[in-house]
Amino acid sequence: MKSLEHTLDAKRGKGAKLLVTYITGGLGDQWIEVLQAVVDAGADAVEVGIPFSDPMIDGPIIQEASQRALDAGATPMSVFGALSCLELEVPTAVMTYYNLIHHAGEERFAQWMNDASVSGAIFPDLSFEEGGSWRRIAKEWGIETVQLVAPSTSDERATLLCEESRGFVYAVGVMGTTGERDRLQTSALEISNRLKLITNKTVLVGIGVSNSEQARAASEVADGVVVGSALVRRVLEGEGPRGAYNFVTDLRKAIDS
Amino acid sequence: MSSIMDHPIDGRFGEFGGRYVPESLHGACAEVERYFEQFWSDEEFRYEYSHILSEYAGRPTPLTHAKRLSDQLGLQVFLKREDLTHTGSHKINNVIGQALLAKKMGKTKVIAETGAGQHGVATATAAALFGLSCQIYMGEIDVKRQALNVFRMQLLGAEVIPVRSGSKTLKDAVNEAMRAWVSELENTHYCIGSVMGPHPYPYMVREFQRIVGDEASSQFKRQVGGTPDFVVACVGGGSNAAGTFAGFVDSTAKLIGVEPEGGAAIGKGSPGVVHGMRSYLLQDEFGQVEEAKSISAGLDYPGVGPEHSYLSSIGRASYKAVSDSEVLDAVVLLSRLEGIVPALEPAHAVAYLAREAGAELPTDSSVILTLSGRGDKDAEVVASLIGARLSDG
């Protein structure tokens, strides 16, 4: 299992800016090929969404992707199953909603992750206070649980969340749902700035980072970016692995420049 | 003496409840909790709240002895008449409380989800009363089947936003309201309509609804004497039941919540986490939330308030299910015997009485049934067509 934290920290240590991309697991017949394409195009890590019926913090694009994947029969098992047959050169994180973990049982879910060589866990609706038992189990399995920090989070709480975060610190760029925005919100730069002062850990800003220009601007302050909806939209529109490759290549160039 | 329905511990009722929210909403929930705790122990606030409920919303509501129904069923049935409140359902009790709180918090806008539209109408009413702007999230299917209430909300100055995601009913209206709340926390209070959602909502809404049970309890003592054998209320999210039960939970009365067959979270679900809480939930074998299917938009919800899950788990309340057809018969029954047209939601409780009189409810038992709302909204099929046409303009 490739450690998210070690991989990202090592690259950051060499002065690189980091790019993590999100794709909904089970979206279309070619999602695995899309995943491989974004890695080939230079993603430093990948986030795979396990679709959930009630994606509370997701905007219309990821809602649509989740629904399509569910309609096509995607389940946690099918997503993990596909991932376990895959040898990616970069670490993988899973992003989903807590009910899927709760329903499977935390221990069993951790085992599924382990079997699929998924090292990172991002559960946006599992608040820090409710996540104690998951974090204990995750630790036993060597799983890195990423904490999200929002613009509304106080400095005091942000310090705690950064301390407890594994893999990287997920800076939530906007007060709102996932989705593309016309321009990078000032909140994305503010939260990145604030967290860089609080922690030495890798800080990646996500939610509302929509294109190359925004990715470059955000990673001037943060250590890098997470891009989800902008990629998923291209897949929804049928661009396939080729389109995903081109988009991620552009993002890579932008943050490296 | 402490009550079984006491203050939740760490936001939990036993192993249910909690605050499963994205980090972006953590501060907002904590703020609501802080303000609620402060004002709910403030006598001036309590006075203001109950003053508005009596002077504006028509409280206390009567406890009506339903004589002909009692004769027919061989029970002694007393109806707690929330249908007689301003806006026609118990929802007003909660929204007056939350709107008042929103003002204290300095918010200028309220948003809410609605299923049947009763909570939406009540929220729009309170918003008008307090001069707050108001947006109501409502599943597209519910917008169609509750067109009259949609028009009432619009008349009251609220904007009704149809929700087209997922099952297009109450559960998705909650998702959409939460999504909207995240992006407008500074000036907006999310007025959740039932004893559900992240802490402190299940507790706060129960406290704002406990007036139903507190009144009914003292009315019964005065009018009949003692304690009823049974207290029965319908349960979707479960706010009228929670408010009613709060008045009787420490008495000898048996508490019964009535769920729709197609949305029986406690009867047919298993513990899960959605909408910020851990509670019983209709879900498939992978934990995907299933759609509830009920004739009543107000009970068309796959989850249930966490305190009901708790009361069920400790055996203090039991939860039963009735079918849509039993509910329709019950609407006719109560209308013809008592001259009261119930909403489809409390008709579930009536249906349970009709089915179980002489069985689960032994002959001559005394029963308090919370008639949580009046039936106009469901009866007016024709008016719904007119309302839809008006709202298009």
* In chain B, % of residues over pLDDT 70: 96
Tokens 């204290």 locate to: B104
Locate B11 and state its tokens: 């936001």
DSSP for B197-227? SSTTHHHHHHHHHHHHHHHHHHHHHHHT-S-
Give the torsion sign (CA, B215, B219, B222, B226).
negative
Classify residue A231 as exposed, middle or buried by CB count within 10 Å of its CB (0-12, 13-18, 19+).
Answer: buried
Domains of chain A, by residue range, sit at 16-256
With a threshold of 0.95, tell me whether the complex ipTM lies above it. yes
Here the tokens at position A174 are 């906007």
The model's pTM is: 0.96
User: Residue B380 — very low, low, confident or very high, per pLDDT cuts 50/70/90?
Assistant: low
Strand pairing category for B366-371 and B317-322: unpaired
DSSP string covering A205-226: EESS--SHHHHHHHHHHSSEEE
**Which tens digit of pLDDT belongs to each residue from A22-33?**
999 999 999 999
Active site (annotated) includes residue A223: no
Asked if the Cβ–Cβ distance from A100 to B182 is below 8 Å, we say no
> Which domains are assigned to chain B?
12-52+91-201 (3.40.50.1100), 59-88+210-391 (3.40.50.1100)
- Given a cut of 80, whether residue B390 has pLDDT beyond it is no
* Residues of B (12-51) whose Cβ lies below 8 Å from A: 18-24, 26-28
pLDDT band of B1, cuts 50, 70, 90: low
pLDDT at B375: 87
* Intra-chain end-to-end CA distance of chain A, in Å: 30
Q: Tell whether the model's pLDDT for residue B166 goes beyond 90.
A: no
> In angstroms, what CA-CA distances link B139 with A27, A66, B45, B144, B166?
25, 19, 34, 9, 9
Q: Per residue in A1-47, pLDDT tens?
A: 899 999 999 999 999 999 999 999 999 999 999 999 999 999 999 99
Please check whether residue A100 is in contact with residue A52, taking contact to mean a CB–CB distance below 8 angstroms.
Answer: yes
Known catalytic residue: B104?
A: no
Q: Which of chain B's residues have a Cβ under 8 Å away from the Cβ of A161? A: 23
Interface touch B22/A70, C-beta < 8 Å: no
Identify whether A47 is a catalytic site residue: yes
Contacts of A150 in chain B (CB under 8 A): 22-24, 26-27
Split at pLDDT 50, 70, 90, the class of A81 is very high
pLDDT at B266 over 70: yes
- Cβ-in-10-Å burial (0-12, 13-18, 19+) of A14 comes to exposed
DSSP codes joined into one string, A158-176: HHHHHHH--S-EEEE-SSS
**Per-residue pLDDT at B325:** 86
Residues in contact with A30: Cβ distance below 8 Å, sequence separation at least 6, in sequence order: A240, A241
* C-beta of residue A150 within 8 angstroms of C-beta of residue A191: yes
B positions 151-170 inside 8 Å of A (CB): 165-166
What separation in angstroms does the CA of B236 have from each of A12, B153, B280, B379?
51, 22, 12, 20
Lowest mean pLDDT among A165-179, B143-157, B207-221, B372-386: B372-386
| A178 burial via Cβ count (<10 Å: 0-12, 13-18, 19+) | buried
Confidence of residue B154 (pLDDT cuts 50, 70, 90): very high
Tens digit of pLDDT for each residue in A176-198?
Answer: 999 999 999 999 999 999 999 99
Predicted confidence at residue B382, as pLDDT, reads 29
Q: Which CATH architecture has domain A16-256?
A: Alpha-Beta Barrel (3.20)
Read off the pLDDT of each residue in B325-352 and give the average, rounded to a whole number.
Answer: 93
Question: Which residues of chain A are within 8 Å of residue B274 when distances are taken between CB atoms?
Answer: 54, 99
Task: Look at residue B296 in the predicted model and tell me its pLDDT.
Answer: 81
Which three-class secondary structure state does DSSP give residue A54?
Answer: coil
Q: What DSSP string describes A172-215?
A: E-SSS-S---SS--HHHHHHHHHHHHH-SS-EEEESS--SHHHH
Suggest the residue from B20, B175, B192 to mutate for an interface test with chain A (most A CBs closer than 10 A).
B20
Mean predicted confidence (pLDDT) in B31-39: 98
Residue keyed to tokens 């479960």: B238
d(CA A34, CA A49): 13
Q: Is A99–B24 a contact, with Cβ atoms under 8 angstroms apart?
A: no
Amino acid identity of residue A26, one-letter, is G
CA distance B173 to B120: 11
Q: Model confidence over A151-170: pLDDT tens digits? A: 999 999 999 999 999 999 99
d(CA B147, CA A126): 37
The mean pLDDT of B301-323, rounded to a whole number, is 97
Confidence class of residue B379 from pLDDT cuts 50, 70 and 90? low
Look at residue B388 and tell me whether its pLDDT is greater than 50. no
For residue B194, what is the DSSP state? S
Residue A76 has pLDDT above 60, yes or no: yes
Among B154-163, B223-232, B292-301, whose mean pLDDT is lowest?
Answer: B292-301
pLDDT (0 to 100) of residue B393: 41
- Given a cut of 80, whether residue B142 has pLDDT beyond it is yes
Average pLDDT value for residue range A223-243: 97
CA–CA separation, B163 vs B168, rounded Å? 6
Q: Do residue A177 and residue B21 have CB atoms under 8 angstroms apart?
A: no
- Where does the pLDDT of residue B145 fall: very low under 50, low under 70, confident under 90, or very high at 90 and above? confident
The first and second tokens of residue B393, run together, are: 């303009």
Name the band, by pLDDT with cuts 50, 70 and 90, for residue B295.
Answer: confident
Burial label for A9, CB within 10 Å (0-12, 13-18, 19+), is: middle
pLDDT digits (tens, 9 = 90+) for A88-135: 999 999 999 999 999 999 999 999 999 999 999 999 999 999 999 999
